[in-house]
Structure 1
């Protein structure tokens, strides 16, 4: 079975983006393990809002991977060969996990992460905590006691910039 990894950054107060969706506060001064991680990834899954944000990047960064976008309304192929999935996400993900291939990266955002936690679809969390307090924004985890999970600490990396990257296995 293929593994699903949430590789994501947050502020120290738990936000993954400003309220506007902006991620201008993220450190870009070094790689922070991204190159090593993305080399294992052949499939990405993200929510529609995250996909729209990715389209605003200077260059589309995922042309080498298969991309699925979870949407409540859109279905079928989109720009950059992304495929919109709008029904029965749980069954789609079960089939995707059983297919051949490498690591599946859950890119985000908050609603998609919530769905994956609620349906026990995350195997690993790699969280890069930036030393910044945003005060408000889009939370990493939506408050909901039904998604409570225990995590096993696998690794901690400290960087000179103050960023701390923590890797957890998610217990089922």
Structure 2
């Protein structure tokens, strides 16, 4: 079974975006000594999953419908993307699949049939749903040294209780902390 890794930037108070779904450099540090490590990590993934709102942000920033996330494509041109949205009306192509069906069933089947690391790169609601169904194996948080008080929660509206086993911890000069946990479901 493939490993599903939720690898995401977050604020110190657990938000992946502000209430308007903004996750730009007004909140997160994109430059710094953590950047090369992040690009290296992306090269290890074979599949990327994201929620529709995360994909829509890319479209607002100039990405064309059907294109993969530019940074991910730069770091790993072979990375296959799946976007989960019942609202986006974009045709799937070789690089990006648009999934309107049940995300839980799709991801469960994907984990059973592929032999690649799967990267959940965005979407708090999607992450919460996958967590509720115990489909996320590893949590990697790029914790930025900022608190915003409100926004899009790391796991959406999920209230699932889990334990985390710390596997790795790295501190960068700009204050970003990278934590890697194995998720332990009870």
Q: How does 1:68-147 map to 2 (within 5 A)?
A: 68-74=82-88, 77-78=91-92, 81-145=95-159, 147=160
TM-score (norm 2): 0.82
Q: Which runs of 5+ in 1 are unaligned?
A: none
1:28 aligns with 2:38: no
Cα distance in structure 1, aligned partners of 2:118 and 2:137: 10
1:50 aligns with 2:35: no
Q: Which runs of 5+ in 2 are unaligned?
A: 64-69
Contact 2:55–2:83 (CA<8 Å) still a contact in 1? yes
1:102: how far off?
1.7
RMSD: 2.1
Return the match for 1:159 from 172, 176, 181.
172
TM-score (norm 1): 0.88
User: Does the residue aligned with 2:39 lie in a helix, a strand or coil?
Assistant: helix
Q: Which residue of 2 aligns with 1:11?
A: 11
- What's the CA shift string for 1:101-158, capped at 9, x where partnerless? 321111121111111101111010000111111122111133543x111111101101
